[in-house]
Amino acid sequence: MKKSGKSLSLITVNILLIGIIIGMGAAFLLSGEKQSVEAGKIDLENMQYTFRAVAEDVLPSVVEIMTVEVRIQEMPEGYSWPFNFITPEDSDDEVESQEFETEGLGSGVIVRKKDNQYWVLTNNHVIGNADRVSVRLFDKDIIDAEITGLDERKDLALISFYSEKELPIAKMGDSDSLYVGDWVLAVGSPLGYESTVTAGIVSAIGRSGPENNISDFIQTDASINQGNSGGALVNLDGEVVGINTWIATTTGVSIGLGFSIPVNNVKKAIDDFISDGSVQYGWLGVTISDPDFMTEEQMALSEYTGAFVHNVYKDSPAGKAGLQPGDYVIQVNDKEILDYKQFTRAVGDIKAGDIITLKVVRNTKIIEIKALIELRKEKDELINLYNEIWPGFTALPMDEQIKKEFSIPESLKGVIISVDTGTGAFDAGLRNFDIITSVNGNEINNMLDFYNSINDKSSNYVLRIVRNNLEEEIVLKK
């Protein structure tokens, strides 16, 4: 009986211990859950306070921009707009002109101040061909502004206004320090709702944009709509890291695909606008692109990234420095080049008069070339210099698809070309889709053969070409 009693006591003690352990565990879990909820609440409150602080700090430095463009439309005498707006084709009425005003809205960021003059950065497409520009400040004051400068290549514009008030200047951040997943806020006037703040993250960096724009872009899901253009994209330190510029949409409104110009791409532009009235771009004097897969393979470029040189302006910094068609630029001043657009930006941001060092892959070997950068010429002037580029056309390898599309015999080897009008190559008789099979008697089997042959010391080059399955020779002078 005693033994049985001891067993009962042990069982009782064990049950009590298990109960205590379970109770403590439950209490710990409940306490942990409570602490977790409270910690989560604190984190959310901290984020909320951060958003509040950033908005309070940034909003006064972002303005709404209002533009007016005056358009002239010819109308028959006696017709009253808008009711009689269709002119009969057989009308003999005299035509008179009538002015119409088109209004536009956008956003801008106050970036500089000198005495009572303030400068506002925005997009070129916001200002457009405006005849009148004004800004609405955070305190609702509306002030007339003047255009300081416009730049289509980066879609940037700078305007200025005068105010006796002390207005805050936006803090510029470092867009190179952004990471995918970082929190950002978009500040501007979407659809005319001034002083609007939206939040999101950096969705991607280094995005390509419209073909005529040389910037790379920050992609964000912070809501951006029409009217946000020119406004600020800011980090959680309240620093401007981007200028909101465009959206990708199938509906005309934000679907979470907004794009901003990185602020590091605009800092030099601000200085140039104020000092020169325009953005001053460095110029090397080449036509470039990203190489296709076959070009990379045939010229042993697959292990590198860079910009492929198709043509060189003869009397340009590139021509004087000895850069050649077929060179693959992989580095500019110790900066690795990822693609041709980055190369364009890198050279464009270098001041005229500076000497740069290019690391180039030529004939499978890496060499260094130094070049003295010049000021970029105007677009029309560059077009007029087309007859000064060498060789004056773009050479491409022939793959199976090209041969099939143009009914080219499988056994035919060479390079197929694209020629611009106005070049020496066009004047010599070369045309689009000509196939170059030999240069000065050297058989062309691939792209490497072609560039080795076209870059020798000759002054005249005898090109054997195939056009419409017929052979002929064309002499190209360098």
* Residues belonging to the active site: 125, 155, 229
125 is in an annotated binding site: yes
227 is in an annotated binding site: yes
* Cα four-point dihedral sign 313, 317, 320, 324: negative
Report in angstroms the alpha-carbon separations of 452 from 416, 439, 449: 16, 10, 5
155 is in an annotated binding site: yes
Q: Does the bond joining 60 to the residue before it have cis omega, within 30 degrees of 0?
A: no
By the 8 A CB rule, do 311 and 289 touch? no
Q: Which residue in 253, 189, 261, 187 sits closest to 219, CA to CA?
A: 261
Report in angstroms the alpha-carbon separations of 54 from 47, 212, 305: 10, 33, 39
151 is in an annotated binding site: no
By the 8 A CB rule, do 266 and 141 touch? no
32 is in an annotated binding site: no
Token representation of residue 461:
């080059």
* Helices within 133-204 (DSSP H only): none
Q: Per this entry, what is the length of the chain? A: 478
Q: Which residue in 219, 150, 217, 149 sits closest to 180, CA to CA?
A: 219
DSSP 174: -
Q: What is the dihedral of CA 89, 92, 97, 101, to 10 degrees?
A: -30
Q: Which residue in 308, 312, 285, 265 sits closest to 375, CA to CA?
A: 285
In angstroms, the CA 186 to CA 231 distance is: 7
Annotated binding site: 125, 155, 227-229
Annotated binding site for substrate: 125, 155, 227-229
